Chains A and B, each alone.
Chain A
Amino acid sequence: MAEKVLMKGNEALCAAAIRGGCRYFFGYPITPQNEIPEYMSRELAKAGGVFLQAESEVAAINMVYGAAGAGARVMTSSASPGIALKQEGISYIAGAELPCVIVNISRGGPGLGGIQPSQADYFQATRGGGNGDYNVLVYAPANIQEAVDLMTAAFDLADSYRMPVMILGDGMIGQMMEPVVFKDPEPRKLPEKDWATTGTGGTRKPNIINSLRLDPAELEKLNHKLQDKYAQVRANEVRYEMHQTDDAELVFVAYGTSSRVVKNAVAVMRSNGIKAGLIRPITLWPFPEAAFDELPDSVRGLMSVELSHGQMIDDVKIAARGRWPVGFYGRSGGMIFTQQEIVEAGEKMHREVANVSRV
């Protein structure tokens, strides 16, 4: 059996990335993700790879764009304001259909915000923070083991769909230490990178990496192709956890760091005699709408719990399709709710909805 090691989230993500095939890293310092470029600067060369500190996040993501176009397994990481700067490049990478992995160890905003954990980048991550009709596959790990497992498989997924994959953590996931075991991902059949710009060698027509289509009909065609791909991702890659929902009357929806607090709150509420449960999205895009169709008839209400003032709640409402009232509890700015705050908010909503018959 593989050895269990105690690791900090940011460093565990790096070790998993290298194990998953990452050989190129381009980044720029920003708290609370600095252990990632620091680890990569120490360790990537040992794996035969290249670490480069770029002059800015803008340059870093464009180096990723170049390296991905040349066929490499490449990654960048940043934190919220830095991810904002990368959006231009992410949009180009999505438009040019290139694979890469982006880590966001997010912090409070808006603007320079703060450096404490936050989930206020949900819209930015799931709506395509850059211009145009595109999505990136977004994973939100709730513990270091899950972060490691998702990261190890992320490069295969990116290659498989030729699209950016984002690991959305926060300052808590990045900075805390937990025991992890490194495992190899399920092998996937991956397509040849016959599109990469590696030099024609005089044996083939030039390859062109590009997101420009001046002819509207051609641009629409590209968009249809992207949408077909996204439909496949929606069909195959949605991941979520159902926690104590089988008989639940109040179901929380929470991801990442929030879900850890909510799980404890569910236990407390159940010991108080209230049947609470949790849907924990692991993919934020595609959002696990199917999870809501699995809910039992006992459910009387949903509550989105986020380290923001309510972003995922939009997706919860879409997935609820008016079947249940949707409540909200959130803190922001790096403030993290206690389990007791969630219990009180949850019990209050439960009192309001418990005797209401289902719409």
Chain B
Amino acid sequence: MSVVFEKTKGLTDKEFHYCPGCTHGTIHRLVGEVLEELELLGDTVGVAPVGCAVLAYDYFNCDMHEAAHGRAPAVATGVKRVLPEKTVFTYQGDGDLASIGTAEIVHAAHRGENITVIFVNNAIYGMTGGQMAPTTMIGQKTTTSPFGRNAEQTGNPIRISEMLATIDGAAFIERVSVHNPVHIRKTKKAIRTAFECQQNRKGFSMVEILSTCPTNWGMSPIAALGWLSENMIPYYPLGNFRNPDKEA
């Protein structure tokens, strides 16, 4: 009997703590599969954020370093400067990366730091119970925007990929989504390209992944996937914003 599918060696056997229907699990698996397929697991150091993925260090089957809120790119910089031959990645949410960690992510890109960033954007703070993020959509109700996000008071949702794509040190920037199988495959391809970019020493690479938070959005998992597709993608267009191979 031949094995047609098995769990990636890129993940440990630890059970995820993620809520039912949350897409973090899918994204973890994709990162694990890519690291396994590129045969990088033994030569990788991952950096976990503060947020829903804070326990990512228990799930990825490689050396891991848990960072302070928003500081993962700085921690990854420290690791990478000591171990330039190893693969170093951060896994960060939108509160972590797009709010408290904007300085660290901008300057990691600015230095062309040869690391890979997995940026999970679900337009809300999940771990702390559904507060507004800089990425929260206009009109979206959260526990700190109970009447819906209002642009006059809190600005418009921040588009991180577009912003980082203006920085020369950013080699690879792509926004993808995991709301259906076609896009999950595209996401995996983008993650793979980002890690290959690092292997080829092209500089900073980031994949922004639109993700759902059924619990804090107050929706069923299926409704959440639809909401992502109908509301987030029009504002956060999918696609590549920087690619070293295309520019060459």
Contacts and interface: CB of A to CB of B under 8 A. Distances in A.
Contact of A65 (B78, B81, B83, B106): B78
B107 A59 contact: yes
B74 A59 contact: yes
A50 B81 contact: yes
A198 B86 CA distance: 8
Given A59-B71, A70-B78, A72-B82, A197 B65 contact: yes
Contacts of B110: 55
B71 A58 contact: yes
A208 B66 contact: yes
A259 B66 CA distance: 41
B64 A209 contact: yes
**For the side of the interface on A, what is the size category?**
35 or more
B103 A207 contact: no
Contact of A212 (B43, B47, B66): B66
A199 B40 CA distance: 9
A62 B64 contact: no
Contact of B45 (A26, A58, A68, A199): A199
Interface residues of B, number: 37
Contact of A63 (B58, B66, B77): B77
A52 to B, nearest CB: 6
B41 interface: yes
Nearest to B111: A52
Contacts of A54: 74, 107
Contacts of A89: 68, 71
A64 B43 CA distance: 21
Overall SS of chain B's interface:
helix
A199 B110 CA distance: 26
A55 B107 CA distance: 7
Given A56-B103, A88-B68, A66 B62 contact: no
A211 B41 CA distance: 23
B44 A199 contact: yes
B36 to A, nearest CB: 11
Nearest to A206: B63
Contact of A208 (B42, B63, B78, B81): B63
Given A88-B68, A197-B45, A64 B78 contact: yes
A66 B76 contact: yes
Nearest to A210: B66
Contacts of B86: 198-199
A92 B48 CA distance: 14
B78 A68 contact: yes
A56 to B, nearest CB: 6
B61 interface: yes
B81 to A, nearest CB: 5
Interface string A68-79: 111110100000
Contacts of B71: 58-59, 62, 65, 89
Given A70-B79, A208-B57, A59 B104 contact: yes
Contact of B74 (A66, A68, A203): A66
A96 B107 CA distance: 25
A26 B75 CA distance: 11
B114 to A, nearest CB: 13
Contacts of B76: 66
Nearest to A212: B66
B43 A26 contact: no
Nearest to A71: B82
Contacts of B58: 208
Max chain A Cβ within 10 angstroms of own Cβ: one of B12, B60, B74, B76 = B74
Contact of A52 (B42, B57, B64, B81): B81
A202 interface: yes
A200 interface: yes
Nearest to A73: B82
Contacts of B66: 96, 208-212
Interface in B70-97: 71, 74-83, 86
Contact of A69 (B12, B74, B79, B104): B79
B73 to A, nearest CB: 8
Given A199-B63, A201-B42, A24 B68 contact: no
Given A70-B83, A209-B66, A210-B64, 6 more contacts: A59-B107, A62-B75, A63-B74, A66-B79, A66-B82, A70-B45
The list of the 9 closest CB pairs from A to B, nearest first, reads A66-B78, A62-B74, A202-B42, A67-B78, A63-B78, A66-B75, A55-B107, A197-B63, A62-B71
Interface of A: 24, 26, 50, 52, 54-56, 58-60, 62-72, 74, 88-89, 92, 96, 197-203, 206-212
Interface of B: 12, 41-45, 47, 54-55, 57-58, 60-68, 71, 74-83, 86, 103-104, 106-107, 110
15 contacts: A26-B78, A54-B74, A54-B107, A55-B110, A62-B67, A65-B67, A65-B75, A70-B79, A88-B68, A89-B68, A199-B63, A206-B60, A207-B64, A208-B57, A210-B64
